[in-house]
């Protein structure tokens, strides 16, 4: 009886020891994954802004050409970049201000749905004013956004495909 107990106890201790080994392996794996994660490339706030800038410009030419499908696409690209900022740059003061861009984007979406060029133009002006309002709020009024004079890229057509 005593012997069996001793054997069981030894086995038990062995199992415990085994478990601590596994836990240590897992902890090591977690640590190395954490290091990998911190070193993973994450686009900066300014990278997303550069993308928003390009879509903002294309949106204008899509609207002026009444290419409503392309305009709709460009609005969604801007929205996606806004969502990415909210996900990848959580907790920053600038990110908390991001919501201000939604009303003008909604208004542009409405104009696109209604194929309403006048509403598109006035909503686009308020979108651009919102870009600058935020840049001002974060003391970067030197980043001044305006309605573009020329398309951002010469290799993309803006007229609707007939
Ligand atoms: C909620 C605040 C906010 C809004 C809204 C906003 N921006 Fe920005 N923008 C910033 C911040 C913050 C930076 C600086 C990013 C950095 O630190 O790299 C910036 C930087 C930029 C830059 C500079 C990138 C460069 O390299 O020159 C451009 C261009 C830009 N924004 C375009 C726009 C456009 C176009 C809109 C509107 C469609 C817009 N932004 C709306 C906060 C905002």
Question: pLDDT tens, 129-147?
Answer: 999 999 999 999 999 999 9
User: Which residue has the least CA distance to atom 28 on ligand 1?
Assistant: 49
Q: Is 142 in the pocket of ligand 1 (CB under 6 A)?
A: no
pLDDT of residue 14: 65
**Which residue's CA is the nearest one to ligand 1's atom 11?**
135
> Is residue 156 included in any domain, yes or no?
no
Atom index in ligand 1 nearest the CA of residue 46 equals: 18
For the chain, how many structural domains are there in total? Answer: 1
Smallest Cα–Cα separation from 74: which of 105, 118, 95?
105
**Residue 128 maps to a domain:** yes
- DSSP assignment letter at 99: G
130 lines ligand 1 (CB under 6 A): yes
What range defines the domain where residue 82 resides?
46-137
Residue 4 pLDDT > 80, yes or no?
no
Confirm whether 131 is domain-assigned.
yes
8 A C-beta contact, residue 126 and residue 101: no
Q: Flag whether 124 is in a domain.
A: yes
| pLDDT of 89 strictly over 70 | yes
Atom of ligand 1 nearest to the CA of 101: 5
pLDDT over 90 (residue 9): no
- Domain-located, residue 65: yes
In the prediction, which pLDDT does 12 show?
A: 64
Q: Is the CB of 50 under 6 A from ligand 1?
A: yes
> How far, in Å, from the CA of 159 to the mean position of ligand 1?
28
CB atoms within 10 A of CB 119: 16
Whether ligand 1 lies within 6 angstroms of the CB of 119 is answered as: no
Cα separation of 133 and 123, whole Å?
A: 15
- Residue 133 in contact with ligand 1 by CB distance below 6 A: no
Q: Concatenate the DSSP letters of all residues of 9-37 into one string.
A: HHHHHHHHHHHHHHHHHHHHHHHHHHHHH
For residue 53, what pLDDT band results from cuts at 50, 70 and 90?
Answer: very high
Task: State the distance from the centre of ligand 1 to the C-alpha of 6, rounded, in angstroms.
Answer: 71
Q: How far is CA 99 from CA 47, 81, 160, in A?
A: 18, 12, 31
- Supply the residue whose CA is at minimum distance from atom 18 of ligand 1: 46
The model's confidence at residue 99, banded by pLDDT at 50, 70 and 90, is very high
CATH number where 88 lies: 1.20.120
DSSP H helical segments within the chain, as ranges?
2-39, 45-64, 68-88, 93-96, 102-114, 117-137
Residue 151 clears pLDDT 80, i.e. is over it: yes
Q: How does 31-68 read in b/e, with b if 16+ C-beta sit within 10 Å?
A: eeeeeeeeeeeeeeeeebbebbbbbbbbbbbbbbeebb
54 lines ligand 1 (CB under 6 A): no
User: Cβ distance 55 to 102 under 8 Å?
Assistant: no
């Amino acid at each position: 009886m005593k012997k069996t107990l001793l054997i069981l106890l030894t086995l038990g201790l062995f199992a415990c020891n085994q478990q601590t080994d596994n836990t240590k392996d897992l902890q090591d794996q977690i640590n190395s994954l954490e290091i990998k994660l911190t070193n993973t490339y994450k686009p900066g706030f300014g990278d997303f802004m550069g993308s928003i800038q390009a879509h903002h410009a294309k949106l204008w030419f899509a609207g002026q050409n009444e290419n409503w499908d392309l305009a709709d696409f460009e609005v969604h690209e801007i929205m996606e970049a806004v969502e990415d900022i909210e996900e990848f740059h959580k907790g920053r003061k600038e990110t908390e201000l991001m919501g201000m861009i939604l009303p003008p984007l909604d208004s542009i979406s409405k104009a696109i749905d209604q194929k309403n060029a006048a509403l598109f133009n006035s909503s686009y002006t308020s979108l651009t004013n919102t870009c600058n309002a935020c840049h001002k709020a974060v003391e970067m009024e030197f980043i001044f956004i305006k309605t573009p004079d020329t398309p951002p890229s010469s290799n993309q057509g803006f007229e609707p495909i007939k």
